[in-house]
Amino acid sequence: MGRYRRPLFRATPLGDKYPTVDFLVDVLGSQDVSLGFFFVQVKGTAGPAAGGRLPVQVSRDRFNLLARLPAPSYLIGVNVSAELSYVVAAHKPTKVHVSSVPKAYCLSDDAVRIVLYKEVLAFWKANRPMLQQTKFKDD
């Protein structure tokens, strides 16, 4: 993993406080400082994975709420019996419920985690996350 031989993410469970997402995940710099974040909804299954997809059940409305958040958002499918997790971006609304996620992006793969890390960092660099102007100044 080269320069990425450190924790890349810190996940904070949101519980029932925010029904659209399960975790707020910070993307960490080398000094354990948050450089950005993304949202995650997790769906687990003990069922068998058919072909290249893992079965999950997410309603259209719930997925679309996730996709409409103004920050990077992802659905993570967890194969509970195999203890493997797969990520897919919630980057656009869907017209049908989500019944599976691709197994192409396994989070146990270092390369997948690094691509996720870089994707989220690129989003925050392009979208200037810091408040530039405010009426609530402490002069």
CATH at 114: 3.40.1350
134 located within any domain:
no
pLDDT at 89: 97
On whether residue 12 sits in a domain, the answer given is: yes
Query: Closest Cα partner for 10 from 31, 34, 30?
Result: 34
- Distance CA(125)–CA(119), nearest Å, equals 10
39 falls within a domain: yes
Q: Which residues pair with 55 in a beta bridge?
A: 100
The per-residue pLDDT for range 87-113, each reduced to its tens digit, is 999 999 999 999 999 999 999 999 999
More confident residue, 103 or 17: 103
1 pLDDT above the threshold of 60: no
Q: Domain for residue 108, yes or no? A: yes
Does the pLDDT of residue 79 top 60, yes or no?
yes
| 137 located within any domain | no
Q: How many domains does the chain have?
A: 1
- Whether 91 is in a domain gets the answer yes
Do the domain assignments include residue 89?
yes
pLDDT score of 138 more than 80: no
Band (pLDDT 50/70/90 cuts) for residue 80 is: very high
Residue 3 pLDDT exceeds 90: no
Q: How many C-beta neighbours within 10 Å does residue 44 have?
A: 14
Rounded-to-integer distance, Cα 119 and Cα 73, Å: 11
pLDDT band at 132 (very low <50, low <70, confident <90, very high): low
Write down the pLDDT at residue 51: 81
What residues have CB less than 8 Å from 44, skipping those under 6 apart? 56, 77, 78, 79, 80
pLDDT digits (tens, 9 = 90+) for 18-77: 888 999 999 999 888 999 999 999 999 887 767 889 999 999 999 999 999 999 999 999
Domain that holds residue 62: 2-126
**pLDDT at site 40:** 97
Domain assignment present for 133: no
